[in-house]
Structure 1
Amino acid sequence: MNWHQNTVEDVLRNLNTSAQGLSQKESEKRFREFGPNELHEKKGKSAFRMFLEQFKEFMILVLIGAAVISGLIGEAVDTIAIIVIIILNGVIGFVQEYRAEKAMAALKKMSAPTGTVLRGGSATEVKASDIVPGDIALLEAGMIVPADMRLIEAAQLRAVEAALTGESLPVEKHTAPISEAQMPVGDRKNISYKGTIVSSGRGVGVVVATGMKTELGRIASMLQEEEEVKTPLQKRLSRFGRNIALAVIVICIIVLAAGIFRGEPAMQMLLTAISLAVAAIPEALPAVVTISLALGAKKLVNQNALIRRLPAVETLGSVTYICSDKTGTLTLNKMTVQEVYADTKVVASDEFKLEESEESADRYFLSAMALSNDAKMGTDGAVIGDPTEAALYYFAKEHGLEKESLEKRFPRVAEIPFDSERKAMTTFHRWDNGVVSFTKGAVESLIDRTVDVLGSDGPKSVEPGEILDVAERMAADGLRVLCIAMRKWDDLPSTMSPDQVENGLTLLGLAGMMDPPREEAKEAVSLCKSAGIHPVMITGDHPMTARVIASSLDITCGESQEVITGRELEAIPLDEFERRVEDICVYARVAPEQKLKIVKSLQDKGQFVAMTGDGVNDAPALKRADIGIAMGITGTDVSKEAAHMILLDDNFATIVKAVREGRKIYDNIRKFVRYLLTTNSGEIWTLFLAPFLGLPIPLLPIHILWINLVTDGLPALALSAEPAEEDVMKRPPRRTTETIFARGLGVHAIWVGLLMAAIVLSSQAWYIRTGIEEWQTMVFTVLCLTQLGHVLAIRSEKQSLFRQGLFSNKYLLGAVVLTFLLQMATVYVPFLNPIFKTAPLSGVELLVTVGLSAVVFVAVEIEKAVRRKTD
């Protein structure tokens, strides 16, 4: 039922209650009917089950198989390393999923523990869970509203509903019915909602909904219904693990069969095939992914982005739409005076100059701003109070008039508080030998009550039409316009009636205020566009303000300047909205389920969506979004628990930095896969082709496992520290359907692997033909050093190593040097020779080996040069 449309009498009648409340007996009866006033949580998975489910991913199952095989052939080091990787990934996944279950707990914290209701006409404090529909609840400043209620009394009642509606200002409440049926929650000003906070005044309401039937309960239901979407990386790694495992099994069977067919010892070929299987499975991949994500998360914390779910770091790189709140994210979340109409002329705030004269029009104007104002300076130096009043306080202070000093000279002696019907407030101050009243409020409410306007030459006759034109032009620029006026009295009026006091006013001026865009936001929006990302602004503000801010930040969808309001969004059928959603960049006054509608519609169109939010109302959309981003400063606990990432500075530019980091991380994971697949490809082609070319098996099982552990391991891990590519934010987002082999990675792995095999096998044939006894040592070393040359060449997909600089990734350089020294140890350290079946090489043999190993490096550099030229 639309309770906001009903009169107080109708509400009481429909709920079969009265203004004196329910009897104890009736409340107990209704408690049995409606149940406790609590948020119910679906039964979740146990912690043990949650932990076990981390090991069902195909890639993890492949690694478990690799660990078993390694153990069977006696490779203890490999076995332990793989088991550690499996457990580490399981623990990380468990922690992330366990934390994700906490959003409901945070939502429950918003509920009031107790409430005051009328039972049999007497005020009684009861547990909030015992409150039932039909109860008459009493509200006072500082209370948490215990249930949804239709107000039947409101005395200057204001409530902070930011957590529920996103509206940052306290909402003035009233009791009058509202005729329109489809009203956003924030516009139903005769309803107080469970979990919101009474900031001032007092009220009485009849409870219309409890528990899961409340607005907070509805959000709880939405939050529990929304499933988190798997990240693109998780999907890609799952497919990659499945494909690589099947390919390795087939290739190892072929190698085993080919070797036996050629007459090699069956046991040796079995060990070779098993060793190849262990080497070909990229057991370091989960570790590299985890390290890359952890390094990215650590870097992002220093840039004010806290990652709550590790895969979100990489996922940011796939984002195609960033749906951002306006207030505090794209703007400063600080109302400031932008423009004033004073001394009968309009001036920008930074051009306003105060005249020296004590009786100047400007001085009266600024004095009114400071004195007719309830904002005050806090102990930390920040102004406490209504954002609009804080803006006036700062503006007067910036021009030399401090409220605290003025109040000592002109103390407040009386006031008429603001109310939403007359849209004005008035304060009275001792002034010279009399009293002055300062009135501020809406232009349309005060303009007809003014008799003149104060200018530098004294009072002049006022032209209401002219003043209204100025106000309308300011409003068209997205400014919130406030009218400021005064009246002098011989003494304090005996009657404080607004109709009598707020008349015969002298207009001092108009103040146009706005929460201005962040300086860095425009550059961040521009960077988004160059990266193929569409920024979308979602705000609870007026459509006109939304349009102005969006325009100033260049948030547009092509030629479209369309602003869709929550009411319009409600009226658009889902299929039509999905057709239009990609052409809408600005939304105003949207409800929580509408944010969810925006996210789902974009996702249905194949878009990858990041959504920001700070209120409880945002939690379902944050959970559903591919990347949910909560505000660290203004965000509620509920929104933070539902999010994947928290902005510690509430700044849109930080999201763009995080996207850049996400793209870099995915690039580095691809580099790791490129390196590992290519080296494995080289080993597989070498062992696969040797029997068909009439050559003995070139590598022993110990050689394969050594290359897997050292040559593949150390440099591969160091690739996770690679800096970002130059064009990382100048290319469109990768498609979510893109495989890890896309953009030439698979082709590269095949042709470079074949080149490696060609170098190794041709050198093997030449060494055997020329009678070099150490041919197997040379083949082993050529393959190892070839892979080191390859890892240096693939640090960038396009950029030359010589442009990047050898020292731009010191971790990789250190890993390459260490691997080279370890390889030399297997050749030249005597006690290692029998273990690795190697023999020391002469200086000439080593030079030949190094020279052959450089071929792959040169070939890949040529490939990159060709790609740069064609691009």
Structure 2
Amino acid sequence: MSVDNFNISGLTDKEVLRAREEFGSNELVFKKESRLWIAVKGFIQEPMILLLLVASSIYFITGHTGDAIFLAAAIVLVSAISLYQDSRSRQALEKLKVLSQPHSKVIRNGQVVEINSDELVIGDCLMVEEGTIIAADGTIVHSNDFSVNESTLTGESLSVYKDSSKKDNIIYRGTTVASGLAIAEVTAIGNQTEIGKVGKSLEDITEEKTPLEIQINDFVKKMVIIGAVVFLIVWALNYLKSQDVLDSLLNALTLAMSILPEEIPVAFTTFMALGAWRLMRMGIVVKQMKTVETLGSATVICTDKTGTITQNKMSLAGLFLLSSEKISRIDHDLNPEETELIRTAMWASEPIPFDPMELALHQAYQQYFQEDERSDYKMVHEYPIGGKPPMMTHIFENEDGNRIIAAKGAPEAFLPISNLTEMEQQKVDEAVHKLAEEGYRVFGVGEAIFEGKDYPQKQQDFIFDFKGLVAFYDPPKENIETVF
């Protein structure tokens, strides 16, 4: 596509140099620390490890070499496992930080050129298209059927439509273009992008101690206090009796050591290290040994469903017809009313679908209709997803002037703008709740009649004939049973 069509010339070479001098380059810069030193420091600060070190040292001092070597061997084993898994996990986390397209298309000097993403500057006209990862934050100045998957920032798998006329006309670094093309003026680069701010904020997070760590700290403090008191009392009594400083000191240390339950920290740290090792062998990133204890004490685990435990491949699973007031499954031959509901829902979708649910509707239409009408109709008007609750409407016409006005969206969106009675609204509400309880994603479908070309400004101004509900099922991933 020619740049002349956009009437955008972009920055000149001098403007690029000036912007780079003023704002810097498009690099994510994080605090660099020695990973080995961080791991060693964190390991040494563990109360149980400190207790083992003290006990091992005292055993060496008092001549109990066998016990001292046993504790030292336990410390070496636990530290080796801990440092190895920490190194593996930190390498994996470092790779996750690098989330950007290596090259980007920009308009400079009136020409579309491809540059390294690090060379983007404030004011650049960034061109993004379907399948690319956006390399900087920017404001859309031109777009064509443009939508973005912002799951890296929001966690929501559904694509978001954006254009220069909408309030939400910002694109963000690290998000993926789901469809269409857009040109955006870069407004933030590097650490000033939204994803850069998120990464930078992670450096300032203060880790909270787990409940078990708090209990262990309290246990170690009590044991140290008791051991110290006993040590001082025994040392003083022995010294008063024998007047031998060294002999009384060794007797006091021996008695103090008998109070310290050094087997507990050996068993505890060893089992946690072995648990972290098992998790690591399963491909799980274990940053710290205490993760094992935290995971073991968890009673409820909350996780995103779509695309995480499911395949994010929607299939049409059920229909609710208002005329029959019953829910039917897509596992039998459908009657004409049911196929007509699928047809209306298909017309309410994008002509070239990319959303999993719209793909499922088009596939169902192909399955149940031998005669394909899609090539005979052209979309003459579109109302994109909007409103609260959201809905979308498409208007198609063929050469004979036959018109189709179809809409789909949240079932609640149709209640105030359709011809439903109070009793019918109650039936629809009951069907929605029943399908939702079974884990289905539910959309309402409606059709309208309108004469003339002066279409309403808002799709909610149409009077819709509510047709029914379509329910979608997102199948779980094949290996999900082993995960749970």
SS of equivalent to 2:100? coil
Whole-angstrom CA distance in 2 between matches of 1:277 and 1:192:
65
What corresponds to 1:389 in structure 2?
358
The answer on whether the counterparts of 1:39 and 1:217 sit within 8 Å (CA) in structure 2 is yes
The question of whether the paired residues in 1 share the 8 Å contact of 2:52 and 2:266 is answered with no
Aligned runs of 1:91-130 on 2, under 5 Å? Answer: 91-95=80-84, 98=87, 101=90, 105-130=94-119
Match of 1:509 among 448, 467, 481: 467
Partner AA of 1:311 in structure 2: K
Counterpart code for 1:88: L
Aligned counterparts, 1:292-303, within 5 A: 292-293=271-272
Residue pairs, 1:52-201, within 5 angstroms: 52-95=41-84, 98=87, 101=90, 105-178=94-167, 188=168, 190-201=169-180
Aligned residues of 2:318 and 2:330 also touching (Cα < 8 A): no
For 2:278 and 2:21, how far apart are their aligned partners in 1?
Answer: 54
Closer/same/farther in 2, CA of residues 345 and 442 from structure 1, 3 Å limit: same
1:54 and 1:425 mapped to 2: Cα distance?
A: 61
What is the CA distance between 1:154 and its match in structure 2?
Answer: 1.1
The separation in 2 between residues aligned to 1:412 and 1:348, in whole angstroms, is: 27
| Aligned with 2:12 (options 10, 20, 23) | 23
SS of 1:168's partner is coil
Aligned to 1:421: 384
8 Å CA contact retained: 1:334, 1:387: yes
Q: Are 1:466 and 2:420 counterparts?
A: yes
1:442 aligns with 2:420: no
* 1:404–1:361 distance in 2 versus 1, CA, 3 Å: closer
Quote the residue 2:230 is aligned against. 251
Letter matched to residue 388 of structure 1? M
The code of the aligned residue for 2:146 comes to L
What pairs up with 1:411-560 in 2 under 5 angstroms? 412-413=374-375, 416=378, 420-421=383-384, 423-425=392-394, 440-442=406-408, 464-466=418-420, 473-474=428-429, 477=433, 480-483=442-445, 509-513=467-471
The aligned amino acid for 2:420 is E
- TM (normalized to structure 1)? 0.43
- Hey, what does 2:4 align to over in structure 1? none
Q: How do residues 346-365 of structure 1 correspond to structure 2 at under 5 angstroms?
A: 346-350=325-329, 354=333, 360-365=336-341
- Show CA shifts across 1:590-633 (max 9, x none): xxxxxxxxxxxxxxxxxxxxxxxxxxxxxxxxxxxxxxxxxxx8
The Cα offsets for residues 187-208 of structure 1, whole Å up to 9 and x where unpaired, read as x2x1111111112111111111
Aligned partners of 1:365 and 1:508 also within 8 Å: no
Indicate the structure with greater helix content. Answer: 1
For the residue of structure 2 that corresponds to 1:466, the secondary structure is coil
Q: Distance in 1 between matches of 2:280 and 2:369?
A: 44
Aligned partner letter, 2:115: V
Deviation at 1:331, TM superposition (A): 9.1
- 1:226 maps onto 2:224 in alignment: no
3-state SS of 1:465 partner = coil
* Partner SS state of residue 155, structure 1: strand
Q: 1:237 aligns with which of 216, 237, 262?
A: 216
Aligned to 1:533: none
Counterpart residue identity of residue 216, structure 2: L
Q: Work out whether residues 443 and 471 of structure 1, in 8 Å CA contact, stay in contact via their aligned partners in 2.
A: no
The CA distance in 2 between the partners of 1:329 and 1:175, in whole Å, is 32
CA–CA distance in 1 between the matches of 2:78 and 2:274? 15
The superposition leaves residues 627-669 of structure 1 with CA deviations (integer Å, 9 ceiling, x where unpaired) of xxxxxx8xxxxxxxxxxxxxx9499x95xxxxxxxxxxxxxxx
1:235 Cα deviation after fit: 3.0
Q: Closer, same or farther in 2 for the Cα pair 1:48/1:248, shift >3 Å?
A: same
Do the aligned partners of 1:115 and 1:126 also contact (CA within 8 Å) in 2?
A: yes
> What residue is the counterpart of 2:194 in the other structure?
215
Offset of residue 114 of structure 1: 1.4
Q: How does 1:501-650 map to 2 (within 5 A)?
A: 509-513=467-471, 649=480
Q: Secondary structure at the match of 1:217?
A: helix
In structure 1, runs of 5+ residues without a counterpart are 1-17, 179-187, 377-383, 397-402, 449-462, 488-496, 519-632, 634-647, 655-871
* Structure 1 counterpart of 2:337, one-letter code: A
Q: Closer, same or farther in 2 for the Cα pair 1:649/1:222, shift >3 Å? A: farther
Does the CA contact (< 8 Å) of 2:60 and 2:68 recur in 1? yes
Residues 444, 468 of structure 1: 8 Å contact kept: no
When the two structures are aligned, how many residues end up with a matched partner? 450
TM superposition shift of 1:26: 0.5
1:281 — aligned with what? 260
Identity of aligned residues (%): 27
User: Does the CA contact (< 8 Å) of 1:58 and 1:238 recur in 2?
Assistant: yes
Partner Cα separation in structure 1 for residue 87 and residue 22 of structure 2: 34
What's the CA shift for 1:33?
0.5
Query: Is the CA contact 2:13–2:108 (under 8 Å) kept in the aligned structure 1?
Result: yes
Q: Which whole-Å CA distance do the structure 2 matches of 1:290 and 1:297 have between them? A: 11
Q: CA deviation at 1:136?
A: 1.0
Report the equivalent of 1:380.
none
Quickly say closer, same or farther: Cα 1:421–1:53, change in 2 above 3 A: closer
Q: How many angstroms does 1:38 deviate by? A: 1.4
Distance 1:444 1:142, change over 3 A: closer
Distance 1:305 1:56, change over 3 A: closer
* Greater Cα radius of gyration, structure 1 or 2: 1
Q: State the alpha-carbon separation in 2 of the partners of residues 354 and 225 from structure 1.
A: 59
The answer on whether the counterparts of 1:37 and 1:147 sit within 8 Å (CA) in structure 2 is: yes
Note the C-alpha offset of 1:336.
6.7
Answer whether contact 1:159 1:198 (CA < 8 A) is retained: yes
Partner of 1:424, secondary structure, is strand
Aligned partner letter, 2:28: L
Aligned 1:775-794 pairs, distance under 5 A: none
Shift of 1:143: 1.3
The one-character-per-residue Cα deviations of 1:757-793 (angstroms, maximum 9, x if unpaired) are: xxxxxxxxxxxxxxxxxxxxxxxxxxxxxxxxxxxxx
Question: In structure 2, the residue corresponding to 1:129 is in which secondary structure?
Answer: helix
TM-aligned CA distance change 1:406 to 1:244, over 3 Å: same
Instruction: Please say which of residues 53-62 and 121-130 is displaced more in the overlay.
Output: 53-62
TM-score scaled by length of structure 2? 0.73
Q: Could you tell me how far apart the structure 2 residues matched to 1:259 and 1:90 are?
A: 38
Structure 1 residue 236, shift from structure 2 partner = 2.6
Match for residue 294 of structure 2? 315
